[in-house]
Chains A and B, each alone.
Chain A
Amino acid sequence: MVLNKRIFRVLLKQKAIYIGSIVLVMLSSLLYSNLNIAMKNVEKNKDLFLEKTKVEDAKAILQRPIDNIKKLEDKFNISIEARRQFDANISENTTIRVFEKTSKVNIPYIVEGNDIKSMNEILLEPNFAKTNGYNLGDKINILDKEFTIVGFFSMPDYIYPLKSEGDIMINYKIFGTAIISDKAMNEMPIKGTVYYLLKSHSGSLEEIKEYLGENHFIIFWQEINDNPRFSFVNAKLMGSAKMAIALPSMILLLTSLLVAVVLWRMIKTEFTQIGTLYALGYSKKEIGLHYLSFVNIIALTGGIIGTIFGLFLVKPLAEYFTFYFNIPLIDNSFDYKYILGSLLIPYIFIIPTMLIVLFKALRYSPVKLMRGKTENSKVGFIEKSLNLKKLRFPAKFKIREITKSIPRLFVLIFGITLSSMFLLLGFLYRNSIDYLLNQSLNDVFKYEYNYVLKSYETSNIYGGEEYNFSVFKVNGKVESFVVFGIKPNSQFINLIDKNSKPISEDNVIITKPLAKTLKVKEGDTIVITNKYNNDNYTIKIDKIAEIYTGNNIYMPLYKLNNLLGFDSNSFIGIFSKEKLNIPEEKILKFETKNDIKEAFKAIINPLKVSLGLVSFIAFFIALIVIYVVTGLSIEENKTNISMFKILGYTHREINDLILNTFTIPIIIGFVLSIPLLIKSMDTLLNSLAQNIDFTFPLKLNTVSIILGFLILYITFEVSKYFSKKNIFKIPMSEALKTQRE
């Protein structure tokens, strides 16, 4: 069609507006293809890896060891393997957890190098090795024994290698894992902790658990999905998968609205042409197809470029995730479904909005179109009802301009809200972590050292403050949480209520994240089931503690012991301010507050890049939206601007009238973004709360809000700078031209 020859001429004439739209489509396609394909790759590799390495179903620490593993394996149709582990310091701040090599369950997967063949060989976790500068063939000294690093490995129960289960983030600088042979383990100066890895072939663990409970006494029982070193990966992948859909969808929605507004403006200015084409005998379909070509170019160009960039970035993103999770990239392939999706989704979003705009225009008769008069020429209800008499002229003009096009106003506010949400996301994360760090570590938990013993004791000869704990579940609601028994008037746990008032430890206190998941209020009674023996207990919740880490319940030590039928002085853990002199063989787990602090701090670092990227995207979206909307406004006001020049308005006065018009909507968009961000993040975190045992205290402080606004304001100024040039270019003859039409 000869008409289509003008498409590129029109695009070139208003290139900034169309390039802006194409960039937005590109961004969404890039994010969609990249996030989804990388995510699928990681998930696929995770499944493949878990299958190859025969991941455990549960692990158990028993008071009485199992003598005849083979017999139990046959009886319960299960694989059982004992594994030993110990922690050793290899430098002042770095701990390495050394495991004994297994061959039936949780078999290490060699990522690089070779498997261990002799006693003085060792396998290291690759990210720990990389972070701390260990290469294959290097020597490493552990408890005065020298090992040669022969390979790097991944292990399924440590794909997210947290030092302590209470940690949230990994820190390869201070913690890593290693594997040595069983013979080497026998030769080590400390015995380490022994536990059993269980993999059921029938799918059920109930019978073996009951048997072990009765005959071997379970000290610790953890099913794989309750293991944060495993389940965090699922939570993170789930979170990322949701973002992979939500992020591009929001940007595409914004783009389609923006494109619709741009094209509606274009069609409106071309009513006379459309009417003439009608009169010449062109059909609605032909005219419609012509205008759809503009959308096609935007969607296709943006889609193709975005998808190509997205595909290029799949490997780095997958590597970033696998680095994070310690999952080997066994198979790196593209899922074509998402490539196709990435190309088609822009159409799915943009075409319907465009069709609505087209139908709106094409229903007018040729005569009406040729006259350029439609019902839009009528004065709108809003314009009529505004009473601006008491305002000064510039304010009147700006309000009239804002209310002139409600769709345009909506796109601007929506765009600013969306980009402000992205912009504030980084600040929200940082403030929340800071708050969490200060609140949890400094205000609530006053201990410096936390010891967990291998068996229950009744008399504390070591010092510090003893406590007990056991793991429970609430059927159908929460798979796993810890009930702590702590000393009344505890020196080391300082629980506070929502008014920051201390709660007496005589109460049964539930942490906020758990209360939220269980939907309990103060005074409610709940039935909890012990994970070790399936016994049910009824407890009344007295208070809810304003604390964000841990799916926990705290109650007086004697109360928990009475509940479990233990001696009222029984304990398995000790909090302390100083390092205690407890024999190594008695310690199951040992953590310092410094470790937790380090782990918290480590949250910020890996996020810096991704949050920086999100902020950059936010800056870009805001810039494009403001520039395009301002561009539309300039385009619509061409004659008026020319008029202003003739009347004697200076450039500064015209810039103020035209460009500062959108200051108020931009502020509204920014203000709206704050509650919307907190609400949407809260919803996202709530949907993930089943898998992770902490809630983020979503905090956004005033300084961050001001900083966020400053960035947005700078974006606005940059956009204004470009727009000023366009205003400057409009000649005074523009108004005179209208005379000649």
Chain B
Amino acid sequence: MFIQLHNVNKEFTSGKNVVFSLRNISFNVNKGQIITILGPSGSGKSTLLNLIGGIDRVDSGDILIGDMNISKLSDKDLTLYRRNKIGFVFQFYNLIPNLNVYENVEVAANISKNPLSLEKVLDSVGMLDKKDKFPQELSGGEQQRVSIARALAKNPEILLCDEPTGALDFKTAKEILMLLEKINKEYNTTIFIVTHNTAIIGMADRIIRLRSGEIVEDKINSAKISAEGVEW
């Protein structure tokens, strides 16, 4: 198994109350799978993504990526883990406004040991011809493509996408989903997609549904369709 979660717990305090954000989460993921994580607001989807991405720590339990237990890593090693293995895609892109498209992707390649060719990455997300444009000159969909290119440039093993289509219209959102599918096939990247949109589950290999910090459904998608066929 590529990714293993064992009894992962994460809690946070709200006023005087301790609230479980995640409770006894356990599941395994194979390399190269597309996993969608569904659930209502506050169900713990983003927290789960943050824990796998190494930007937050578990309160108890273990997360193993390959042979590495990231719950036991020091801050420094956790930084190296994010640097070498993880790519993030956000709902609002988080591009640096005063850097152009090429430079925004270069932000990630700059710290990577084995970065992919930036031209190739930009070409694969369809943004090579706009590499000198600044984020303000791009549409939402184009900005998300750049954001994906930035995540890809490091050649990560895991791509974590938090509501990647949440701010996009149907047509653009579908293009982004197709792009993610293409990346999954081309680079054998394991992709987690956190979403509210139930239609997206059609393109996933695996569907995990959360409610109040607990897994209420974890199933293999036996009727997987291509991203192009996803409709809502």
Closest to B137 in A: A379
Is there a chain A Cβ closer than 8 Å to B111's Cβ? yes
Q: Determine if B124 is an interface residue (Cβ-Cβ < 8 Å).
A: no
The interface residues of chain A lying within 8 Å CB-to-CB of B80 are 648
Which chain A residues (715-739) contact chain B, with CB distance < 8 Å? Answer: 732-733, 735-736, 738-739
Least CB distance from B224 to A in Å reads 28
Tell whether B98 is near chain A: CB-to-CB under 8 Å: yes
Let me know if A736 and B90 touch, CB within 8 A.
Answer: yes
Please encode chain B, from 77 to 89, with 1 for each CB lying within 8 Å of some chain A CB and 0 for all others.
0011111101010
Q: Judging by beta carbons under 8 Å apart, are B134 and A646 in contact?
A: no
B83's partner among A397, A404, A649, A741 (CB-CB below 8 A) is A649
Say yes or no: A396-B79 contact (C-beta < 8 A), given A383-B134, A735-B90, A736-B46. Answer: no
The reply to whether B96 and A640 form a contact with Cβ atoms under 8 Å apart is yes
Residues 699-718 of A at the B interface (beta carbon under 8 Å): none
Task: Select which of B86, B88, B103 is within 8 A of A393 by beta carbon.
Answer: B103
Contact between A735 and B111, CB atoms less than 8 A apart: no
Residues of B within 8 A of A394 (CB): 110
Do residues A648 and B79 form an inter-chain contact, with CB atoms below 8 A? yes
Contact of A379 among B76, B94, B107, B136 (CB under 8 A): B136
Q: Is A639 an interface residue (CB 8 A)?
A: yes
**Is A643 positioned at the interface, with any CB of B under 8 Å from its CB?**
yes
Q: Is the CB of A396 within 8 A of B106?
A: yes
B82–A648 CB distance below 8 A: yes
User: Known contacts A647-B88, A653-B111, A732-B55; is A396 also within 8 Å of B98 by CB?
Assistant: no
CB within 8 Å of A: which B105-162 residues: 106-111, 134, 136-137, 154, 162
Check if B163 is an interface residue, CB within 8 A of chain A: yes
Q: Which of A396, A404, A646, A738 has the most CB of B within 10 A?
A: A646
Query: Which B residues from 22 to 56 make CB contacts under 8 A with A?
Result: 46, 50, 53, 55-56
User: Cβ of B94: which chain A residues have Cβ within 8 Å of it?
Assistant: 639, 643, 735, 738-739
Interface residue SS majority, chain A: helix
* Minimum distance in angstroms from A268 CB to a CB of chain B: 12
Are B82 and A400 touching (Cβ within 8 A)?
no
5 more CB-based (< 8 A) A-B contacts, given A400-B98, A643-B94: A392-B110, A400-B103, A647-B82, A736-B46, A738-B94
Query: Closest residue to B80 on the A side, CB-wise?
Result: A648
Given contacts A401-B98, A647-B107, contact A377 B163 (CB under 8 A): no
Set of chain A residues within 8 Å of B99, measured between Cβ atoms: 396-397, 400
25 residue pairs from A and B, CB less than 8 Å apart? A377-B136, A383-B98, A383-B134, A393-B109, A394-B110, A396-B103, A397-B99, A397-B103, A400-B103, A404-B98, A643-B107, A644-B107, A646-B53, A646-B88, A647-B111, A648-B80, A648-B83, A648-B84, A648-B154, A649-B79, A650-B76, A735-B90, A735-B94, A736-B50, A739-B91
The CA of A644 and the CA of B80, in the complex, are separated in Å by 12
Whether A71 sits at the interface, judged by CB under 8 Å, is no
Tell me whether B92 is interfacial, beta carbon within 8 Å.
yes
CB <8 Å contact, B92 and A738 = yes
List residues of chain A with CB within 8 A of the CB of B88: 646-647
Interface of B toward A, CB cutoff 8 Å = 46, 50, 53, 55-56, 76, 79-84, 86, 88, 90-92, 94, 96, 98-99, 103, 106-111, 134, 136-137, 154, 162-163
A557 CB → nearest B CB, Å: 74
Report B197 CB to chain A, min CB distance, Å.
15
The answer to whether A647 and B83 touch across the interface, beta carbons within 8 angstroms, is yes
Flag whether A363 is at the interface (Cβ < 8 A). Answer: no
Q: Which residue of B lies closest to A644 (CB)?
A: B107
Nearest residue, chain B, Cβ from A403: B98
Contact of B108 among A639, A647, A739 (CB under 8 A): A647
Give the complex CA separation of A732 and B111 in angstroms. Answer: 17
Given contacts A393-B103, A647-B82, A732-B55, contact A739 B92 (CB under 8 A): yes
A736 to B137, CA, bound (A): 23
Set of chain A residues within 8 Å of B55, measured between Cβ atoms? 645-646, 732-733, 736
B163 near A648 (CB under 8 angstroms)?
Answer: no
The answer for the CA separation of A384 and B100 in the assembled complex, in Å, is: 9
**Chain A residue with Cβ nearest B151:** A647
**A378 at interface by CB-CB < 8 Å:** yes
Taking a contact as CB atoms under 8 Å apart, the answer to whether A649 and B111 are in contact is yes
Contact A643 B96, CB 8 Å, known A379-B134, A400-B103, A736-B46: yes
In chain A, residues 384-420, which have Cβ atoms closer than 8 Å to a Cβ of chain B? 384, 388, 392-394, 396-397, 400-401, 404
The closest CB in chain B to the CB of A388 belongs to B103
Tell me the complex Cα distance, A648–B54, Å: 10
Whether the pair A393, B110 counts as a contact (CB closer than 8 A) is yes
User: Which of A392, A639, A643, A648 interacts with B111 by CB under 8 Å?
Assistant: A648
Number of chain A interface residues as a range: 20 to 34
The interface residues of chain B lying within 8 Å CB-to-CB of A648 are 79-84, 86, 111, 154
Residues of A within 8 A of B110 (CB): 392-394
CB distance from A38 to the nearest CB of B (A): 48
Instruction: Give the residues in chain A near B92, CB-CB below 8 Å.
Output: 738-739, 741
With A648-B86, A649-B83 known as contacts, the answer to whether A739 contacts B53 (CB < 8 A) is no
Q: Which residues of B contact A644 (CB under 8 A)?
A: 107
Q: Closest chain B residue to A739 by CB distance?
A: B91
- Return B119 CB to nearest CB of chain A, in Å: 12
Chain A contacts for B162, CB-based, 8 A: 736, 739
* Chain B min CB distance to A639 (Å): 6
Chain B residues within an 8 Å CB radius of A393: 103, 106-107, 109-110
Q: For residue A384, which residue of chain B has the nearest CB? A: B134
Min C-beta distance of A432 to chain B, whole Å: 45
8 tightest Cβ-Cβ pairs between the two chains A and B: A648-B83, A648-B82, A393-B110, A379-B134, A732-B55, A739-B91, A400-B98, A393-B106
The distance in angstroms between the C-alpha atoms of A384 and B81, with both chains bound, is 35
For A400, list chain B residues within 8 Å (CB). 98-99, 103
Q: Which of B90, B98, B99, B162 has the most CB of A within 10 A?
A: B98
In the complex, A377 Cα to B137 Cα: how many Å? 9
Chain B's closest residue to A649 (CB) is: B111
A378 proximity list for chain B (CB < 8 A): 136
One digit per residue, 1 when the CB lies within 8 angstroms of any chain B CB and 0 when it does not, for chain A 634-671 equals 00000110011111111001000000000000000000
Chain B residues within an 8 Å CB radius of A645? 55, 79
Residue of A nearest to B84 (CB): A648
For B150, give the chain A residue with the smallest CB separation: A647
Q: How far is the CA of A404 from the CA of B108 in the complex (A)?
A: 21
In the bound complex, what is the Cα–Cα distance between A592 and B86 (angstroms)? 82
Q: Complex formed: what's the CA distance from A168 to B72 in Å?
A: 74
Question: How far apart are A263's CB and chain B's nearest CB, in angstroms?
Answer: 21
Cα–Cα distance between A733 and B163 once the two chains are bound (Å): 16
How far is it, in angstroms, between the C-alpha of A557 and the C-alpha of B134 when the chains are bound? 79
A646 to B87, CA, bound (A): 9
Question: A residues within 8 A CB of B90?
Answer: 735-736, 738-739
How far apart are B117's CB and chain A's nearest CB, in angstroms? Answer: 15
- Give A614 Cβ to nearest chain B Cβ, in Å: 38
Closest to B96 in A: A640
Chain B nearest Cβ from A389, distance in angstroms: 8
With the chains together, A379 CA to B83 CA distance in Å?
30
Residues of B near A401 (CB, < 8 A) are 98
CA distance A101 to B213 in the complex (A): 101
With a 10 A CB-CB cut-off, give which of A377, A383, A736 has the most chain B CB atoms: A736
Q: How far is the CB of B114 from chain A (nearest CB, A)?
A: 13
Q: A736 CA to B96 CA in the complex, in Å?
A: 14
Chain A residues with Cβ under 8 A from B91's Cβ? 739
What B residues does A379 contact at CB under 8 A?
134, 136-137
Residues of B within 8 A of A388 (CB): 103
CB-CB nearest in chain A for B55: A732
Chain A residues contacting B154 (CB-CB under 8 Å) are 647-648
Q: What's the Cα separation between A583 and B115 when bound, in Å?
A: 94
Closest to A400 in B: B98
Cα distance A643–B90 when bound, in Å?
10
Nearest chain B CB to A7 CB, angstrom units: 28
> Using a CB-CB cutoff of 8 Å, which residues 606-654 of chain A contact chain B?
639-640, 643-650, 653
CB neighbours (8 Å) of A383 from chain B are 98, 134
Give chain B nearest CB distance to A269 CB in angstroms.
Answer: 14
